[in-house]
Amino acid sequence: MTAAKVVSRSELLREFRRSKSGLAGAGILLVLILMTTYAAVAVPLESFRQWNNPNFWIDTPKSAAPAWTNLFGPKVPEHIFMTAKDAAVSSSVQGGVRTVTHSYTVNFNYDSYPSDFMMLYSARYGSTQPALQIDVLRPDGKEFRIYFASLPSSQQGSNEFSARVFSTDRLIADNLRNYLDDFAYRQDVSRPQVMIFSDSQQDSVLKGTYVIRETFYLFDSNDSVTNSGVILGGEVYGLMGTDELRHDLAIGILWGAPVALFIGLTVSIAGMIIGLIYGVIAGYKGNRTDEGLMRINDVFYSLPPLPLLIILSITVGKSIFLITGFLVIFGWVGMAKISRSIALQLKNLQYVEAAKLMGQSDRKIIFKHIIPQLLPLTFASIAISVPGAILGEAMLSFLGLGDPSIPTWGQILHDANSAGAASRGLWWWIIPPGLMIAITGLAFVLIGNALDAIVNPRSRRM
C-alpha cells in the first residue's frame, strides 16, 4: 500500500471486474450476505436473544452429531420432537369422566436406543385436578403402562398447568417393574429408554412402529388439554448437530454471519475513516500539526493490541459494542500513515494550489479535493482490514473475553474448547465455526488484494 496511486472510481470498478480473485471473494461475500438475510428473515429472533438461556434449548439433544452422518456407518437414533400437531386426538366419556387421548406414532428403525425421552403436557382445569396416564404400544403387540398420576391441584380456581414427565421419573421405573417378566433376559428399570425399546427375547433394539399415548382423565366439563408432545432423545440432530449446552449449531453458525460482518465492517470502516481524515489533516497542515499528530499516531502504533484488548475487556466490559469500539481504537493507525504520505503529494498538485489561490478554506480543500482522491485506496484498505477485525473478536471470544450473550463463531469455539470437544471427538462443534472464520477472512483478503493490485502499481506487476 505504500506505493499507492490515485485511480478513479470508474477505473477501480472496471479493473475489479477483470480480477478473478476479486470476483471469487465477492462471491463468498455474497453467500455470507445471503446467510445474514436468511438468519434475519427465517430464523426466530428469540433464538438469538435466548442463546444463553438453557430452558430455551431444553427440547434439543445434548452433543448430537449432524443428522446426515447417519448416511455413513451405523444408523443411530435421530432426535425426535413431536408436538400436539403430530398427535392423533380422540376423546370419549364414560361414567361422567371425559378422557382425551393424544397418540403419537413413532417409526423407530435405528441400531441403538434413545438417550432419554420426555413427555410434554399442558392442561387447563379447575378445583378437581385431572389424571395423566402414559402408555406405550410396542411393535410386538405388548403394551406398557409407564405412568399414571394426578396433576397438581389448582391454586386459584381455573388455571393452566404445564410440565414434563422425564424418563428419569421414579414412577416410570416403578411401573416398568410390572413388565420385567416379559423379557427373557435381565432388564434395568432405571434405564426405561432401553427397556421400552428392547426386544423381549434377545438383547437388541426392537425396531418397528411404536404408539405413545398420553391419556388425560378430565372430571369437569370446563377442563381441557391445551398441549402435549413427545421427545425421544437422539444422537444426531439437524444440519450441524448440537453442543453440550443443547444449542442448535446450525442456528449459531447462521447468526454468527451477521455478527462477524457487523464487527468486521464496522471496525474497518470506522478505523479507515478516522485514519484517512487524521492522516490527511496531518499531511496537508504539515509543520507542528503534522509533527504532533504523527507522534500521537506513533504512540498508538507502538501499543501491543492484544494485551490491551484483554485488559479493556476485563475492566470495561464484554459487550459486543464495547469490543467493536476497542478494536476501532487500534484500527486506524496504519491508514493514518498511508493517507498522510499521499496527502503530502496531493497538496502540491496544481488543482490544490489553485483552490488555495481562490481562497477556499483548508476544510473545503481537504474534504472536496484531497479525500475524494483517496477513496479507492480507502476501499482496498477496508477490505484488507476486515479479516483482522473478525479475527480480533474471535480471538477475544475464544479466550472467554467476548460477549457471552450472543452467538459468535469465536464464542462457539470457546465453548467447544471449554467442554473438551476436541478430545471427545465432537468435530462438528469445532470445524464449522473455524471454517466460517477462515472463509470470511479469505473473502475479504481476496477482495482487498484485488483492490490493492489496482491502486498499487507495484502489487499489480507482481
Decide if pLDDT at 433 tops 80. yes
pLDDT band for 457, please (50, 70, 90 cuts). low
The three cell numbers of residue 429 are 462443534
Q: pLDDT-based confidence at 398, cuts 50/70/90?
A: confident
Q: Residues 35, 204: contact at Cβ < 8 Å?
A: no
φ/ψ of residue 441, rounded to 5: -65, -40
How many Å apart are CA 26 and CA 264, to the nearest integer?
15
β 131-137/143-150 pair status: antiparallel
- Give Rg (Cα) of the chain: 32
Lowest pLDDT segment from 100-104, 232-236, 303-307: 303-307
Q: What is the mean pLDDT of residues 332-351?
A: 87
In the chain, % of residues over pLDDT 90:
50
**To which residue does cell 413388565 refer?**
179
Question: Domain coordinates of the chain in residue numbers?
Answer: 9-51+248-455, 80-233
As its CATH architecture, domain 9-51+248-455 has Orthogonal Bundle (1.10)
**Which of 4-8, 279-283, 310-314 is most confident?**
279-283
pLDDT digits (tens, 9 = 90+) for 225-241: 999 999 999 999 999 99
Q: Using alpha carbons, list the distances in angstroms from residue 76 to 4, 65, 73, 432, 451.
A: 58, 10, 9, 22, 49
Cα–Cα distance, 110 to 293 (Å, whole number): 69
pLDDT at position 220 is: 85
Q: pLDDT digits over 41-98, tens only?
A: 999 999 999 998 988 998 899 899 999 998 887 889 999 999 999 999 999 988 888 9
Average pLDDT on 100-120 reads: 93
Which residues are within 8 A (CB) of 84 and not within 5 positions of it... i.e. 6 or more apart?
102, 227, 228, 229
Q: Say whether pLDDT at 289 is over 80.
A: yes
Q: Per-residue pLDDT for 459 more than 60?
A: no
- Name the grid cell of 331: 484500527
Question: For residue 6, what pLDDT is reported?
Answer: 57
The correct CATH number of 80-233 out of 2.60.40, 1.10.1060, 3.10.450, 2.60.120 is: 2.60.120
Q: Are β-strands 117-125 and 224-232 bridged in parallel, bridged antiparallel, or unpaired?
A: antiparallel
pLDDT tens for 382-395 read 888 888 888 888 88
pLDDT of residue 221: 83
CA distance 178 to 167: 17
By the 10 Å C-beta count (0-12 exposed, 13-18 middle, 19+ buried), 414 is classed as buried
Average pLDDT in the chain: 88
| 441 φ/ψ sector (left φ>0, alpha ψ -120 to 50, else beta) | alpha
- 158 — pLDDT class (breaks 50, 70, 90): low
Please state, in angstroms and rounded to a whole number, the distance separating the CA atoms of residues 13 and 431.
Answer: 35
Coil, strand, or helix at residue 386?
A: helix
Per-residue pLDDT band for 7 (boundaries 50, 70, 90) equals low
Beta-strand runs (E) in 353-429: none
C-alpha grid cell, residue 441: 477472512
Helix 371-398 vs helix 9-17: crossing angle, to nearest 10 = 50
